[in-house]
Amino acid sequence: MPNKVKKIALEEHFSTPELAQYNPGITEMMGVESYKYYGQRLMEFDKRLEDMDKNGIDMSILSVTTPGVQAEPDAAVATKRAHEVNDFLASVIQKHPTRFGGFAHLALQDPKGAADELERAVKQLGMKGALINGQTNGEYLDDQKFWPMWERAEALGVPIYLHPGNAMRTSPANEGYVELSGPGWAWGPETAAHTLRLVYGGVFDRFPKTTVILGHMGEALTFMFWRMDSRYAVMRHGKPLQKQPSQYIRDNVMVTTSGSFSMSPLLCSMLEIGSDRIMFSVDYPFEKTEEAVEFIDNAPISQIDREKICHLNVEKLLKLDS
């Protein structure tokens, strides 16, 4: 018998007509007809609820799909649209407060403004943190210009979900193969490198209470811990760290099962960071909810680990039980 438990899904995307203009790269990767299906699902909330009910998802934490306003070159336009989409998401949540929660959308083109919008979204709109879609106009979150955002997130006690996004330039190794673009490959190494920039850039030393969430079972970082530490010991250091590189991942990063419904990555993550730092996700609408649910319900893990991964960890992190 399946081991059914309460489930809160953490990486569940939506979009709006105003934000859809920023998605031509994704349309190209998936093809027009394929993305047409996803584009419709991103903007439909009633069908989302039907899908949740059908598959036993109790609550979904909604977030803007990549890239959102981070692809907007005009900071004022990005700020305005981020404010508007956060208000829109709050109105959706208000209609279904026990079924939906939300991560704020931020215009990182103005780091101080993004910090202020994060605070507004959390304190006034009830958001549970923010989701950031990779780099913003070629700038990564280890840059000290973004430290006001990290400082505010730490002060508010909310996590930052670091979600994949396209790099500014295609890696030469990926050129000529559309299969290597986006979620097929390129997003994983890009997001893992972004996370390690936070480690080596001293973000977690400066803001030790910060929590970053990574999807897709940690973007393969947990597979690399031993080698990461081994090579750090013999390489030149830009900024000497207070701990081993892998320890920052264990202490400051939590991972989700989004788009990774395979036992080997799950078991590796459990062995390396523990079941207390893994959370259930689907990656709706880009993955099938029934596959995510079947995977975690039938995973050969203990029932307490299943409870932690499916709802206890996220309830604690996002303070949902209060």
Q: Rounded to the nearest 5 degrees, what angle is found at the Cα of 257, between the Cα atoms of 83 and 118?
A: 20
10's CB contacts (< 8 A; 6+ apart) are 61, 161, 213, 256, 258, 279, 280, 281, 314
How far apart, in Å, do the first and last CA atoms of the chain sit? 32
Q: In what order do the strands lie in the sheet with 8-14?
A: 8-14, 59-64, 100-102
Bridge partners of 254?
213
212's CB contacts (< 8 A; 6+ apart) are 159, 160, 161, 162, 195, 198, 252, 253, 254
Looking up tokens 């931020």 gives 106
Bridge partners of 133?
163
Residue 162: helix, strand or coil by DSSP? strand
User: Residues with catalytic annotation?
Assistant: 283
DSSP conformation class of 20: H
